[in-house]
C-alpha cells in the first residue's frame, strides 16, 4: 500500500450532481409539505366538526337532564314563592344542588372546550397553509 494517501486521493475526481438536482429536491419537498398541510387541515376540520356535534349533543342532553331532574321546577320557586324559599334556604340550596345534573354538565363543558381547542388547531393549520401559499416561511417551512 502507498503510505502517502494525499497523492492517492488527489488523482480521483469527486462526482458532481446532475444539473437542476437541487431545484428538483426543493420542489419535491415543497409539494410534500403542501400535501401534509392539506391533510392536517382536513383532519382538523373533521375533528372540529365532530367536536361541535358533541357540544350540540351535550347541550341537548343537558337540557333534557335538567327538565327530567326537576331542576327547573325547583329553580322556579325562587321567582314564584320567594318568601318560602328564603325561609327554607338551606333545604332549597340542597335541593338545587341535588337536582343539578353535574355529569351531563361536565360532558357539555368538555365538548365545548374540545370544540374551542379543535377550532384553534384548524385556524393554526389554515394560517400555516396561507403563509405557505404566499411564500412566507412560517414555523412549518424553514428555509435553509
Residue 17 within any structural domain of the chain:
no
Kindly state the average pLDDT of the residues 57-81: 91
Residue 36 within any structural domain of the chain:
no
What is the count of structural domains for the chain?
Answer: 1
Kindly state the average pLDDT of the residues 62-91: 90
Domain that holds residue 68: 57-132
Residue 45 within any structural domain of the chain:
no
Residue 94 within any structural domain of the chain:
yes
Residue 29 within any structural domain of the chain:
no
Q: Do 104 and 58 meet the contact criterion of CB atoms below 8 Å apart?
A: yes
Q: What is the 3-state composition of the chain as percent helix, strand, coil, each rounded to the nearest 5?
A: 80, 0, 20
Residue 123 within any structural domain of the chain:
yes
* pTM, to two decimals: 0.68
pLDDT confidence of residue 52: 94
Residue 137 within any structural domain of the chain:
no
What's the chain's length in residues?
144
Amino acid at each position: 500500500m502507498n503510505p502517502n494517501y494525499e497523492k492517492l486521493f488527489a488523482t480521483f475526481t469527486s462526482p458532481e450532481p446532475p444539473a437542476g438536482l437541487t431545484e428538483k429536491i426543493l420542489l419535491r419537498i415543497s409539494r410534500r409539505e403542501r400535501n401534509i398541510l392539506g391533510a392536517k387541515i382536513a383532519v382538523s376540520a373533521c375533528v372540529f366538526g365532530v367536536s361541535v356535534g358533541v357540544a350540540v349533543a351535550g347541550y341537548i342532553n343537558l337540557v333534557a337532564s335538567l327538565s327530567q331532574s326537576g331542576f327547573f321546577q325547583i329553580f322556579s320557586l325562587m321567582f314564584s314563592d320567594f318568601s318560602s324559599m328564603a325561609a327554607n334556604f338551606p333545604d332549597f340550596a340542597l335541593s338545587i344542588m341535588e337536582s343539578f345534573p353535574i355529569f351531563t354538565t361536565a360532558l357539555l363543558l368538555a365538548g365545548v372546550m374540545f370544540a374551542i381547542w379543535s377550532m384553534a388547531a384548524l385556524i393554526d393549520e389554515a394560517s400555516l397553509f396561507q403563509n405557505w401559499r404566499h411564500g412566507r416561511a412560517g414555523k412549518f417551512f424553514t428555509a435553509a
